[in-house]
Amino acid sequence: MSSGDSNPAATPTLCVDIQGDGRWMSLVWRELFSPLHALNFGVGGDATQHVLWRLSNGELAHISPKICGGIMAIVQLIKDKLPKAYTLILEAVSSLSHASLLNVDPGFVHSDGSISHQDLYDYLHLTPQGYQAVCQPLHAHLK
């Protein structure tokens, strides 16, 4: 590369080759949250200890996120490392003043206890329609 050429690695590009059931979330994320410049540190199959390890070992070193999701231990670690960060919790109730609860359940479990395969195709993993339903309230909150 000559001194006049720009570095192609410096140009951000969207990932278009996404595998596994996370691809649906990626499509929804790209549509709803990428325009908001939101950050998603989620990794399929992650457990709390994996998230805590990454947050403790540099994942937050060069960013200043406004919104982070997770459980209370993750929230506390983020608060310790980034005192000005605001945390939005999707699945855990918080008693912290810098975090709040956002109900993103669109009613997957019906009053008779049934679950539609159109929302959770195997009754565990969300379909594209299911991800869209979960992400709409989060998107509305972040806008």
Residue 53 covered by a domain: yes
> Does the structure show a pLDDT above 70 at 118?
yes
> Does the structure show a pLDDT above 50 at 84?
yes
Higher pLDDT, 65 or 86: 86
Q: Domain of 63?
A: 46-101
Angle between helix axes 48-56 and 72-81 (nearest 10 degrees) is: 10
Residue 85 covered by a domain: yes
> Does the structure show a pLDDT above 60 at 91?
no
Which range in 2-16, 33-47, 70-84, 106-120 is most confidently predicted, on average pLDDT?
106-120
Query: Percent of the chain at pLDDT above 90?
Result: 1
Mean pLDDT (whole number) for 110-119: 87
Report the predicted TM-score, pTM, of the whole model to 2 decimal places. Answer: 0.46
Residue 6 covered by a domain: no
Higher pLDDT, 101 or 135: 135
120 and 126 Cβ atoms separated by less than 8 Å: yes
Least Cα distance to 45 among 63, 67, 19 occurs for 19
